[in-house]
Amino acid sequence: MGASLAFSAGLEKYRREDYVLLSYHVHIPLPDPMVNPATLARQKFYGVNSSPSYYVDGESSGGGGSADTAKSLFETKIDQMVVRHLDEKPEASLKLSAKAVGSTVVVKTDVSQVASKSDKLKLHVALVEDLVRYSGENGLRFHDMVVRAMAEPPAAAAGKTPDVKKEAADKAAPAPDAPKTTASTVPAVPEKVLGFSVKPGQGGKFQYTFDLKKAEAEGLAHLQDFETNTRKGQYSFRQKKYAIDAGRLSVVVFLQDEATKKILQTVYLKLPAAKAAKPAN
């Protein structure tokens, strides 16, 4: 709890132009009902096997403690890390626009002035719920900046060789409505490949559309999979917090060197209220 409260304190002290918090929930040390396939992919990327674990612009740190330690943790560790990184010059320029229409969020990002020559650059797009209420096992009731989904572009855009057989199967599959499955038929949830590849020294224009219903269905499917396949029916969530509040959403984009984990630049945008989708003619 101490680390969560300490990082939330940064939201009060700093502007979003200077400080952006992303909370990737994981099943450590206990099962967490806000975990989804995107947060699991980020856990794997960072090699996280203990909680709390955190990175500031790719710089690894960790450790938390009780609520009583939050003030000291922020003042003596986290705040100093943030201040140090604020002195660094951004290594890219990002322009972000996003709009919510019905149950979708359309995100457009323009990447330019990329200074890095790394061939492992990825542009990540995160859909974030600003505040989720849930009384966790550690006593924390309010959870800030909960990552609900991240851009999973086509294989080629992600820098991977397309899997033709998988793509054909995906197209043939039914729409991912909330799964209606029994405990014995819950399928394993596939891993995600996140982020758009960005060529070294270059930029580009990128667009991604989040489907909130799909994100909710994937979150629920993972939680069911965790109960059935991971815990073999020996554990049940008292609440499954997969539902997304469309009125509390923000978008965060960041350019990352995946070889070093360094963040070159980040932009945050609070989404306005969704507009109703126009009926088809």
Per residue in 159-171, pLDDT tens? 765 554 555 544 4
The verdict on residue 46 lying in a domain is yes
Compute φ and ψ for 37, nearest 5 degrees.
-55, -35
How far is Cα 77 from Cα 34, in angstroms, rounded to an integer? 27
Model confidence at 112, in pLDDT bands (50, 70, 90)? very high
Helix (H) or strand (E) holding 45: helix 37-46
Domain count along the chain: 1
Phi/psi zone of residue 201: left (φ > 0), alpha (ψ -120 to 50 degrees), beta? Answer: left
Model confidence at 270, in pLDDT bands (50, 70, 90)? very high
| Res 173 pLDDT > 90 | no
The verdict on residue 8 lying in a domain is yes
Average pLDDT over residues 204-215: 97
Cα angle: 228, vertex 233, 239; to 5 degrees:
80
Write 141-144 long-range contacts (CB < 8 A, 24+).
Answer: 143/4, 143/23, 143/25, 143/34, 144/4, 144/7, 144/8, 144/11, 144/21, 144/23
Residue 171's pLDDT is what? 47
The verdict on residue 280 lying in a domain is no
The verdict on residue 257 lying in a domain is yes
pLDDT per residue over 36-46, tens digit each? 999 999 999 99
Whichever domain contains 192, its CATH number is: 2.60.40.10
Average pLDDT over residues 248-262: 97
Task: List all residues 6 or more positions away from 128 whose beta carbon is below 8 Å from its beta carbon.
Answer: 22, 145, 146, 147, 148, 249, 250, 251, 252
Residue 160's pLDDT is what? 65
How far is Cα 98 from Cα 118, in angstroms, rounded to an integer? 28
The verdict on residue 40 lying in a domain is yes
Joined tokens for residue 203: 């930029």
pLDDT per residue over 16-55, tens digit each? 999 999 999 999 989 999 999 999 999 999 999 988 889 9
The verdict on residue 276 lying in a domain is no
| Res 224 pLDDT > 70 | yes
The verdict on residue 279 lying in a domain is no
- Say what the pTM is: 0.86
> Residue 22's domain spans which residues?
2-270
Q: Is the dihedral of CA 142, 143, 145, 150 positive or negative?
A: negative
Joined tokens for residue 101: 């229409």
pLDDT per residue over 62-87, tens digit each? 666 678 888 998 999 999 999 999 98
How far is Cα 15 from Cα 12, in angstroms, rounded to an integer? 8
Residue 188's pLDDT is what? 63
Model confidence at 7, in pLDDT bands (50, 70, 90)? very high
